[in-house]
Amino acid sequence: MSETTTIVCVVCPVSCAVQVEFEGNGIIRTDHNQCKLALEYVNDELFDPRRTLTTSLAVDGGAKPLVSVKTDHGIPKHRVMEAMQSLSGLHVQAPVHIGDVIVPNLIGTGADLVATRNVAAA
């Protein structure tokens, strides 16, 4: 039994509203996409949507109160809020360096949470 949905492709500014017919883990057909680049995007969005999570963490003993962080790969979209919840209350000790791994394998996604800026000790 196939299903149909619409996904806006964000690969380029054209922003095609792609109509997708799919069944199980496979796309049967797409419509309203102006180019082929949409296919890979739509496939990912449909079956394994991922997002890079960017946020900040409280710093103890730092020249700044916060350090910005990101996941080094996309994590499943539906686990983003769960990842945020897991970081609740987490404090990082200064100094922090850009690229430092703060949380390895964040909630088992395989992605590491890394610092995206330097924060010197106060």
Partner 1 sequence: MIKMRSADVAVIGGGPAGMAAAAAAKEAGAGSVILIERDEELGGVLNQCIHDGFGTKVFKEALTGPEYAAIYADKVRDAEVETRLEATVLELTEDRVLTVLSEEGMETIEAGAVVLAMGCRERPRGAIGIPGSRPAGVYTAGAVQNYMNLRNLAVGRRVVILGSGDIGLIMARRLTLEGAEVACVAEILPYPSGLARNVVQCLEDFNIPLFLNTTVAEIHGAKRVEGVTLASVSGMDVIPGTERFVPCDTLMLSVGLIPENELSRQANVSIDRVTAGPVVDDAFQTSNPGVFACGNVLQVHDIVDYATMEAEIAGRSAAAYVADGTLPEAEIQIKVGDGLRYVLPSHVSGLDAVNFTMRVTKPDQNRAIVFSSGGKVLRRLKQQALSPASMARVRLGKARFSDTREILVEVGD
Partner 2 sequence: MTDKFDVAIIGGGVVGCAIARALSRFQLDVVVLERDVDVARGTSGKNSGVAHTGINVPTGSLKAKLNVHGAAMFESLCRELDVPYKQVGKLIVALDESQVPDLESMQARGLANGVPVLDIIDADEIKRLEPNITGYAAVHAPTAAITCPYSLTIALAESAAENGVEVMLESPVTAISGEPGDFTLTTPKGAINAALIINSAGLASGEVARMAGVERWRIFPCRGEYVILDKSVGDMITRMVYPVPPKGGAGLGIHITPTVDGNILLGPSTDYIEDPEDVDTTVDVRKQLLKEASEFLPTINPRDVITAYSGVRPKLTSASEGGFGDFVIEEVPERPGIMHLVGIESPGLTAAPAIAEMVAGWVTDKLSPAVRPDFKEGAHTAKRFREQSREVQTSLVDNDPDYGRVICRCELVTRREILSAIENRLGARSINSIKYRSRSMMGRCQGGFCGPRIVDLLIEEGVPFDELNLKGDGSWMFFDTSKGLREGHDSRTGEAVIER
3-state DSSP assignment of residue 104: coil
> Residue count at the site for partner 2 (CB under 8 A)?
10
Does the footprint of partner 1 cover residue 95 (CB under 8 A)?
no
Q: What are the φ and ψ backbone dihedral angles of 102, each rounded to 5 degrees?
A: -90, -45
Least distance in Å: CB of 111 to partner 1? 13
Does the footprint of partner 2 cover residue 61 (CB under 8 A)?
no
Would you say 10 or 121 has its CB closer to partner 2?
121
Does the footprint of partner 1 cover residue 10 (CB under 8 A)?
yes
Interaction site with partner 1 (CB under 8 A): 8, 10, 12-15, 34-35, 51-56, 58, 64-66, 68, 70, 77, 80-81, 84, 98, 116-118
